[in-house]
Amino acid sequence: MHDLFPIANEGFVIIGSQYRGSQYPGTRAKNVMHDEFGGKDVKDVTELLGYIPKIDGADPQRIGMYGFSRGGMQTHLALKQVKNVKAVATIAGSTDLLKELNFRPAMEKVYTHRIPDYETNKVTELEKRSVMNWVNELSSNVPILLLHGEDDKRISANSSVELADALAKNSIPHKLVIYSKDDHDLTKNKDKANKELVNWFNKYL
């Protein structure tokens, strides 16, 4: 949440979700809704839009969506279900989960634990969660900002580069910024990244 305050200080109202089950780490307790890493938990994001009209100072006609890391995947999945988002930004977003397993094999444990039917439907489940497989379904009216650290060890910067290429081929407005010698969290460029986010949403919302 600390990273969001510099953006909120620029006059934005920010609302976010704690994904289902995250308050019960490592448990399969009865009656607890479990995180499916891009499955039913996407509803935990889309449900937020219904609260916006009830928030003082929030404009339901000027909604942007921002996702970091796994949140980038959630953002694109959410856009398939809602129509009132005007602009999007992601930092180090997941775009092709199957391909990213080659870059970071340790994610296999995460997928196995969280994604239903993963062991029997691995390829299908990962492709459903990967925007690279359905870029053509994205709206050409929703501009997308992609920020990524060149030396990201968790999600390859190529994920954003390849998505930017696909967006261009589908005539979807976008901007790609790769920060040289920076990591997954953009540790060396926090202020620059925040400025990009603020400028992006000021321009398109």
Residue 163 predicted with pLDDT over 70: yes
Spell out the SS3 assignment of 157-172. CHHHHHHHHHHHHCCC
**The token pair that represents 16 in the structure block:** 């976010």
The model's pLDDT over 41-59, given as tens digits with 9 standing for 90+, comes to: 999 999 999 999 999 999 9
Identify the pLDDT of residue 69.
95
**What is the pLDDT confidence band of residue 148, given thresholds at 50, 70 and 90?**
very high
The model's pLDDT over 75-119, given as tens digits with 9 standing for 90+, comes to: 999 999 999 999 999 999 999 999 999 999 999 999 999 999 999
Structural domain boundaries, residue 168:
2-204
> What domain count does the chain have?
1
* Count of Cβ atoms closer than 10 Å to residue 15 Cβ: 11
Chain centroid to Cα 43, Å, comes to: 14
Q: Residue 157: helix, strand or coil by DSSP?
A: coil
Query: CATH number, domain at 148?
Result: 3.40.50.1820
**The token pair that represents 139 in the structure block:** 């709206």
**The token pair that represents 128 in the structure block:** 């459903």
